[in-house]
Amino acid sequence: MNLFKVIILGIVQGITEFLPISSSGHLVIFQHFLDIQEGLTLDVFLHFGTLLAVAIVYWDDIKGMITLKPEYRKLTLYVILGSIPAGVIGILFEDIFEQLFATLRVVGFTLLVTGTLLWLSDRIGKQTRYLKDLKMSDAWVVGFAQAFAIIPGVSRSGSTIVAGLFKGLDRKLAAKYSFLLSVPVIGGATLLQLKDLATVGLVNVTIMQLVFGTVSSAIAGYFSIKLLLKLINQEKLSIFAYYCWILGVSIILFF
């Protein structure tokens, strides 16, 4: 794989991991059309890049959670609880999800689902619940929404933010909770892949490609988070629905 394709994949990963249009779905699409076999090593570092993007944007919150500051203890607990469904379901049904990644048409149908969720997001009633109002049921609902997003074509950020809005969470809190939930999920998946990587070693990839892939993923991810936060506050999340519908229908009809 040449360096240009690595950078393209990094940008795609960074943009689609946080914009509600499904990173897994787009990576399936790009790998299909560019005839790319991403490989375990590069996959690990691309996801690490998106993890860096979240850490940069929400560093104060993450630092508060790690040091267990009193004002962050509740949020820390609910991030842990919300991460459990995706971890358990991902491990139990790993083989099934891997098969779905091999089918482009599945991505087409699930993008239609993502689009519908996004269209509904700006038509939900008032969101007036803040951090002090978080309940255990919120963590489970958003957590299972994140688990649902393991399916390629279903947006992780989109499904978790919409789930938070349906529960009445303030738009800013719904976004923050969604992005912080990605830290243990992406971090855990990366650690599992590193375990496999320690066995197989570097395959068909150079150190320079890994560096450029990680950096491009992190930069694209950072600006994607900033853009999404702005659109959420303006109640314009549903603009991504039309993109998902058009792309989904195109895949179903032509591929």
Q: Which residue has the tokens 């989904």?
A: 248
The amino acid at residue 147 is A
The answer to whether 154 touches 114, Cβ cutoff 8 Å, is yes
The answer to whether 47 touches 84, Cβ cutoff 8 Å, is no
Tens digits of residue pLDDT in 26-35: 877 777 776 6
Q: How far apart are CA 229 and CA 12, in angstroms?
A: 19
For helices 207-233 and 3-18, give the axis angle rounded to 10 degrees.
30
Residue 207 DSSP class: H
Question: CB 95: neighbour CB atoms within 10 A?
Answer: 7
The amino acid at residue 62 is I
The amino acid at residue 167 is K
The answer to whether 173 touches 17, Cβ cutoff 8 Å, is no
- Residue (of 145, 150, 180) closest to 162 by Cα position: 145
Residue 58 DSSP class: T
**What pLDDT, on the 0 to 100 scale, is given for residue 112?**
94
Tens digits of residue pLDDT in 158-187: 999 999 999 999 999 999 999 999 898 888
Rounded average pLDDT over 81-106:
79
Q: Where are the domains of the chain?
A: 3-254
Q: Quick check: 228 pLDDT over 90? A: yes
Rounded average pLDDT over 30-55:
78
